[in-house]
Structure 1
Amino acid sequence: MRRLYEAPAYDPSWPRSHWRASHPAPLDLPPLDGETKADIAVIGSGFAGLNAALEAAASGANVIVLEAVQPGWGASGRNGGFCGYGGTKLSDKAIVSRVGLEGARDFRDFQCAAIAHVGQLIDANGWNARQGPDGEAVLAQSPRVWAGFAAEAQDLHDLYGERVDLIPPQALRERGMAGPGFHGALMLDQGFPVDPMAYVEGLARLAIAKGVRICGNTHVTGMTQADRGWRLTTAAGAVLARKILVATNGYSSDNLPNWIGGRNLPAFSAVLVTRPLTEAERQDQGYTDPHMAFDARKLLHYFRHLPDGRFLFGMRGGTSGTAEAHERMKIAVRAHFEALFPAWAAAETEHSWSGFVCLTGSLAPFVGEVPGASGLYAAFGWHGSGVAAASYSGQQVGRLMTGRTAHLPALVRVVPRRFPLPAFRRLWLRLAYAGYGLTDGALPRPER
């Protein structure tokens, strides 16, 4: 396998996350042993892979899923649980420029359908995964950014017919969104917070109940075309399948398949969860709002209250996968948390972990058949917002692979370009982070 980061970034042990601690009995699915055949083989048992497997199995296909560790080990079990808009780093105007006005509106409909799809799955199966009210807050990190929110709200109305709630700086404390780094907010009415481990393990159990075979601890080591299909090799076996879906996102190997190499860029996102906050502590900070929230920085912070009183805070950053770099990242996340929520400086971190999001060379996801490779499909590139987008994309590519009509907007069907000089992708990321640090502005300084 050929991967971009150091080996510790792919350590197969479970991350010490709040989600894993909350669900202390992980699935223990046996590995593939020997050779087998299937109509469809899915590599990766995250949101995209499991939704694809479920949809394909519903049409009568014989489906097998190959997972390097166990369902929920990767990004689908490490994220902040924000089921909302997303999937791309392109602005709305850039999307219009790329695929036209109707294409942009189709992609917006796709995002809304993705959120609804996750909600329907959770509710229909009775999974205890919803963790808060509908809606999401975008917080301005400076007066200048707040001044631009009015134009952004108008753009959302003009493009999509959506109306959003603008909360001026002086009203933030009344709305429970106070903090020294916040200067107004824009409230979206779509999306809801989830327990991602409850959701992904629910998907896995449902897939098994529907006849999908999931093989845990099964690293795919080779991929070759075979008669009327593909052959996947593993340490202890092989799968012959008519069609394959690669759904490994930020944990992909650059040579499985070779086509994906250089088109994706894994990037770290790190999360901490505090001990439960008291009501007095919440009131002292002035941040009590239960909605999902993030700020408008390029190197964004995302945060929310959890149902048990704990507080989740995450951010982008880090360009090395070594153990030492991971420790530095933990320190940085804590420092940013205390800068934005100084009243909670005494609230200890109970859990801290990190994992990969996945960028593409075109800043948009890819979902579909790989050009020039009949029967080989891929779904990846959620740009840090994959709970909804990956889930719905998985369902739709499952439909596509079984010969049915799929809702895949033009934006996600465009093949991502390769990053220039792909071997230097981490260097480009460091340079981008340095630039974003300048344009995002400084964190608030503690009062003395």
Structure 2
Amino acid sequence: MYDPLTDSSPGQLANYPDSYWASSFSPTNYPGLQTDIHSDVVVIGGGYTGLSCALHLARQGVEVTLLEANRTGWGCSGRNGGFVLNGTGRLSYLQMQQKWGKQTANLLYRENRAAIDSVAELIEQGEVACDANPGGYLKIAHRAHLVDALKQQARFLQDEFGDPVSFITKERLASDYMQHAYAHGGLLFPYCFGVHPLKLADGYARMASNAGASLYQGNPVTGWQKQADKHVLLTPQAKVTANKVVIATNGYTPNKFHAGIDRRHFPVLSSVIVTEPLSEAQLSACGLKPGVMVMDTRALKYYYRLLPDGRLLFGGRGAIRGKDADKAVYKQRLLAALIDSFPALRHIQLSHFWSGWVSVSLDDYPRINQPEHDNSVYYAMGYCGSGVSFATRAGYRLAQMVTGSEPMPALPYFQSQLTKFPFSPFRRLGLSAFYHWGRLKDEWL
């Protein structure tokens, strides 16, 4: 599997992973670029961020070209669990308030809620058939002593932001949502919803193309030169000369791609299993409510949802290196965790297993900005695994930055650079230590 820390390129026109999403949908193909061209703006990356940016630029009449190394939605946009949530990175709103103050925390909350609304609006505008599935998001306490913290979080969100979150008791979880071995209480965020992520990416691509953006797949950027005030991007077949460049590759960004973002994020693998369709008896025994998405309070979180066709999607942390991503041990770990959570599914069979990269920032929140000393390059990175809605919004904000159509709001996303990782060659040693600590904490604390 492609590894951003060791491979110079994500490949060229590679097939989608053997995922449930790819097996249940055939995305639209776009041509490869074969001749040299000039474009006012070039967007690198055909995921949610890049496609949203290209769409919003095209809607403003900007000449925009999108280059995707493989296929639209090939990266994280086609591999995630399909959870449309508040994209806060890894910081809670209380932590945001403590870090930046009440006014900024309130603005961040509004921006993240607007991100969810942006996804819903684009789905409606483009009539995107992405199996949008309302039902809300449940954050569950996997230990009894964590229940009070969830209750406090609910009160904080309600009092500070007017959030419609509600606390769900252990008894109501069991009666109305799921028969889960470690669900001691939870928070229900009713405005969140699930999607088929690859269908969503395909819908964005179609909308961008229809709006006038030029989309090319199978064109990895293998070289980047600056000639006077122009950017020359080299691909295997052709080169593109541009006035401005948007980097929209997030967790799939290769090492030494651009000096302004190198060593400023850490790609981490997340893995997913999908079961065969559950029988009526299995559905009844585990009690999972259709439409609800779930994540727990572990240090090494598990996330899961019942899919529209009755399969169970279950995800969590995977291997540390790309070359180990497909090893059976990581699939078996997820299956063991699934069965531990839902003992009634101990005989369940799996249909799919795959992995994808998450971009983690050093200080746990993303950025939408420009590299220092280059006012014609833009980037959005560091989503920390909460990117379906945030990436869509990031593309919209990037388009605004490129055109200068309006000033950015006073949010930390736009006001500072991603922080460089110290001792970056040893990031994976640190990750290994964190995983060992996380498993210990989740098991005993």
TM-score, normalised to structure 2, is 0.94
Residues 218 and 234, structure 1, Cα contact 8 Å, conserved in 2? yes
> Hey, what does 2:419 align to over in structure 1?
417
Shift of 1:365: 0.7
Range moving further from structure 2, 174-183 or 406-415: 406-415
Shift of 1:59: 1.1
Change in CA separation of 1:258 and 1:344 when aligned onto 2, cut-off 3 Å:
same
Structure 2 unaligned runs (5+)? none
- Partner of 2:240, secondary structure, is strand
TM-score, normalised to structure 1, is 0.94
> Hey, what does 2:244 align to over in structure 1?
243
- Partner of 1:173, secondary structure, is helix
Change in CA separation of 1:161 and 1:354 when aligned onto 2, cut-off 3 Å:
same
Residues 300 and 442, structure 2, Cα contact 8 Å, conserved in 1? yes
Shift of 1:442: 5.5
Residues 150 and 166, structure 1, Cα contact 8 Å, conserved in 2? yes
> Hey, what does 1:135 align to over in structure 2?
136
- For residues 255 and 315 of structure 1, what CA distance do their matches in structure 2 show? 28
**Deviation string for 1:99-139 (max 9, x for gaps)?**
22111111111110000000011112211114322421111
**Paired AA for residue 20 in structure 1:** A
Shift of 1:381: 1.3
- For residues 6 and 371 of structure 1, what CA distance do their matches in structure 2 show? 25
> Hey, what does 2:18 align to over in structure 1?
16
**Paired AA for residue 131 in structure 1:** A
- For residues 357 and 36 of structure 2, what CA distance do their matches in structure 1 show? 31
Kindly report which structure 2 residues correspond to 1:278-427, keeping only aligned pairs within 5 A, or say none: 278-323=279-324, 326-405=327-406, 407-413=408-414, 414-427=416-429
- For residues 268 and 7 of structure 1, what CA distance do their matches in structure 2 show? 18
Shift of 1:13: 3.0
Shift of 1:289: 4.8
Shift of 1:324: 6.8
Residues 105 and 160, structure 1, Cα contact 8 Å, conserved in 2? yes
Residues 286 and 345, structure 2, Cα contact 8 Å, conserved in 1? yes
- For residues 3 and 23 of structure 2, what CA distance do their matches in structure 1 show? 31
Shift of 1:172: 1.8
- For residues 83 and 161 of structure 1, what CA distance do their matches in structure 2 show? 20
- Partner of 1:298, secondary structure, is coil
- For residues 183 and 418 of structure 2, what CA distance do their matches in structure 1 show? 35
Residues 110 and 407, structure 1, Cα contact 8 Å, conserved in 2? no
Change in CA separation of 1:102 and 1:229 when aligned onto 2, cut-off 3 Å:
farther
- Partner of 2:177, secondary structure, is coil
- Partner of 1:88, secondary structure, is coil
- For residues 275 and 408 of structure 2, what CA distance do their matches in structure 1 show? 40
- For residues 297 and 437 of structure 1, what CA distance do their matches in structure 2 show? 9
Shift of 1:386: 0.5
Kindly report which structure 2 residues correspond to 1:124-203, keeping only aligned pairs within 5 A, or say none: 124-203=125-204
- Partner of 1:181, secondary structure, is coil
- For residues 247 and 293 of structure 2, what CA distance do their matches in structure 1 show? 30
Change in CA separation of 1:22 and 1:325 when aligned onto 2, cut-off 3 Å:
closer
**Deviation string for 1:242-279 (max 9, x for gaps)?**
11000101100121112211111011111111111122
**Paired AA for residue 285 in structure 2:** D
Identity %: 32
- 1:227 lines up with 2:228 in the alignment: yes
**Deviation string for 1:47-88 (max 9, x for gaps)?**
000000011111111100110101011100000000111241
Residues 367 and 408, structure 1, Cα contact 8 Å, conserved in 2? no
Shift of 1:26: 3.2
> Hey, what does 2:117 align to over in structure 1?
116
- For residues 388 and 220 of structure 1, what CA distance do their matches in structure 2 show? 26
> Hey, what does 1:252 align to over in structure 2?
253
Residues 93 and 109, structure 2, Cα contact 8 Å, conserved in 1? no
**Paired AA for residue 222 in structure 1:** G
Change in CA separation of 1:223 and 1:87 when aligned onto 2, cut-off 3 Å:
farther
**Paired AA for residue 405 in structure 2:** R
Pairing partner for 2:437 from 430, 435, 442: 435
- For residues 195 and 415 of structure 1, what CA distance do their matches in structure 2 show? 32
Residues 140 and 184, structure 2, Cα contact 8 Å, conserved in 1? yes
**Paired AA for residue 72 in structure 1:** G
> Hey, what does 1:446 align to over in structure 2?
none
- For residues 9 and 435 of structure 1, what CA distance do their matches in structure 2 show? 31
Change in CA separation of 1:295 and 1:236 when aligned onto 2, cut-off 3 Å:
same
